[in-house]
Chains A and B, each alone.
Chain A
Amino acid sequence: GEDVEQSLFLSVREGDSSVINCTYTDSSSTYLYWYKQEPGAGLQLLTYIFSNMDMKQDQRLTVLLNKKDKHLSLRIADTQTGDSAIYFCAPLGRTGRRALTFGSGTRLQVQP
């Protein structure tokens, strides 16, 4: 099955940029998602990228995809304390698959 790896923890200062990285193994992944989990809550979709794209920008969020290295990153510009959460990378592999495989999640801590 798919393996998805993320570093467990990232700490940044308010106003800095945050970069959360993810590597995956399934080269047939079609859509690659980023989900956010705030304390005490379920996960919410943050953004996604289709596998034929290299980059997607959405306000403060930039997603970069390197298909050759199977590497996905999420950059948050001007990080705010409200961005403190756990961020999960989740590729959707092969056509017709319905269930997402999640990484371990990266806990982002934003220092004021």
Chain B
Amino acid sequence: DVKVTQSSRYLVKRTGEKVFLECVQDMDHENMFWYRQDPGLGLRLIYFSYDVKMKEKGDIPEGYSVSREKKERFSLILESASTNQTSMYLCASSFGEGNTEAFFGQGTRLTVV
């Protein structure tokens, strides 16, 4: 079974803190993604990566950065957390391009106070 594991289910951080969300996949997938999920807005793509050290901006990259030093690990970084970044964050991975299933982690619910 493909497994995408996010390091935390719940996080509470203070405004201005630097926050790291970690994601690991065990299926040698090329692609990894970070989405945020908000009620009524669905999933919005923050960043994705199609190879080690490669990254592309998604639809809402402002206030976020990412790191992919190893193929299996993709980190989302909030440089200075703000209350409007309170959300559910979902990591996903997939193989290649075209018709390919995306596998999702359980999500990290981040609250910034």
Contact = CB atoms under 8 A, between A and B. Distances in A.
Interface in B81-98: 90, 92, 94, 96-98
Contact of B90 (A30, A42, A45, A103): A42
Nearest to B43: A102
Interface in A34-57: 35, 40-45, 48, 50
A104 B101 contact: no
A42 B98 contact: no
B31 A88 contact: no
Contact of A30 (B48, B99, B105): B99
Q: Size band of the A side of the interface?
A: 20 to 34
A5 B41 CA distance: 10
Contacts of B43: 43, 88, 102, 105
A48 B99 contact: yes
B94 A98 contact: yes
A96 B100 CA distance: 11
A8 interface: yes
Interface residues of B, number: 28
A81 B59 CA distance: 35
Contact of B102 (A6, A50, A100, A103): A100
B67 interface: no
Contacts of B41: 104
Interface of B: 4, 31, 33, 35, 40-45, 48, 50, 58-59, 90, 92, 94, 96-102, 104-107
26 contacts: A6-B42, A30-B99, A31-B98, A40-B106, A42-B4, A42-B92, A42-B104, A43-B43, A43-B90, A43-B104, A44-B104, A48-B99, A88-B42, A88-B43, A92-B99, A95-B98, A98-B31, A98-B50, A98-B96, A98-B100, A99-B33, A99-B58, A100-B45, A101-B45, A102-B43, A104-B42
Given A102-B42, A105-B43, 11 more contacts: A40-B106, A42-B104, A43-B90, A43-B92, A48-B99, A96-B97, A98-B96, A99-B48, A99-B58, A101-B45, A104-B40
